[in-house]
Amino acid sequence: MVNYLVGRGHTVFMVSWKNPTAADRGLGMDDYLRLGVRASVEAVSAIVPRRKIHGVGYCIGGTLLSIAAAAYAGEGDAHLASVTLLAAQTDFSEPGELSVFISPSQLDMLEAAMSRTGVLKSEQMGAAFSMLRSRDLLWTPAVNTYIRGKRDEPNDLMAWNADGTRMPCRMHAEYLRQLYLNNALAKGEFLAEGRRVDLSDIRLPMFVVGTETDHVAPWQSVYKARGLTRSPDYTFLLTSGGHNAGIVSGPSHPRRRHRVRTWLNDTETLDAPAWLESTAPVAGSWWPVWEHWLEEHSAAERAEPPAMGSAKDGYSPIIDAPGEYVRQK
C-alpha cells in the first residue's frame, strides 16, 4: 500500500506498534495517544512543515486515530486534513462474535492473567481470533496437515498473520472495559488525557472502509461512525474480503469488489442493511477509489518528498531500515 501511494505521488509516514514487554505494563490508552499519535503528528509536522496530514488508522489504530482527531478538534488543533478508518470501530455496541469474550467475569479473569505477566501475549490474542473462525483457522489446517498430509504453501499474508504483537496490561484492560464493555466512546463518556472526547467534534472529511466478512470489526459496526461524527464530506466503502485480506488487496485484484457512497452535508440516514441493498457493487480493488479521494482532498501543488530523518528537524535516523524493532521477538 505504501509503495502504491508513493508511486502515485503521496508522501507516506508509517507508524508501527511497539511490541511491549512486562516493563511496559503501566502504559495506558493515554500513553498510546501521547507517545503514539501525538508524537507522530509532531514529527511529521516538523519534517514537512505547513502541510496538513491525512491520518489513516487500521483496526485499533483507527479507533485511536478517531479519539485523537476528536481531541485535536476539541482543542482547535488543525494538524489533520482528513481521517481514514480501515476496519476500525468507534461504536462497540455490536462487536460481532468477539462479544463472546467480553463480559465482566471474562475481563476479570483476563486481567488477573495479565497482571502476572504484565502483557497480553500474542499467542493468547491469536488463539482468541482463531477460535472466532475455527473452521478456517483451526480445523481445516489441522485436517489438511495431519490427515491429508497436505501443507499450505506459505505466502506474504500468512507470514504477516503469524507476526503477532503483545499488548500492555493496563492499556488492554482500559481498551476492553471502556470501549467494548461500556461503549464509552460512542456514548461520549470516554476520557482522553483527563478530558471527555466527543466524536461529534470531528468535522473533517472522512473515508471509512469496512470488509464484508470481517470477524474482528464487523462492517455493520464500522458503518456506525457516520452517526457519531459530523463530517461534512463522508464516504463509506465496503469491500469484499475479511479483516486482513480485504484491506491488503492490491490496486488491481481480480476477485475483489466494493460498494461506495459519499454524503456531502447530507441528512439522509440509512441503516446498514438499507445501505447495502441500495448501493450496487463495483468490480475491482478499493485502493484506486481511496487514492483518488486523497488526491481530491490534497493541495493541487505537490511538495517535493522530504529528506527523511533530518537532524535539523530533531529527528536523526536511529538505524538503517527496516530497523531493529521488526526483528525483535
d(Cα 142, Cα 148) in Å, to the nearest integer?
A: 9
Grid cell of 244 as nine digits: 486482513
Would residue 169 show up in a list of annotated catalytic residues for this protein? no
| 117 CB-near residues (< 8 Å, 6+ apart) | 22, 169
Q: Residues 97, 100, 102, CA angle at the centre, nearest 5°?
A: 115
Alpha carbons 300 and 270: distance in angstroms, whole number: 33
Closest CA to 32 of 22, 43, 21, 24: 24
d(CA 279, CA 261): 7
Q: What share of the chain is helix, strand, coil (3-state, %, to 5)?
A: 45, 15, 40
Catalytic residue among 37, 59, 87, 98: 59
Q: Which among 120, 135, 159 is positioned nearest to 244, based on CA atoms?
A: 159
Cross-strand partners of 261: 236
Catalytic residue numbers read 59
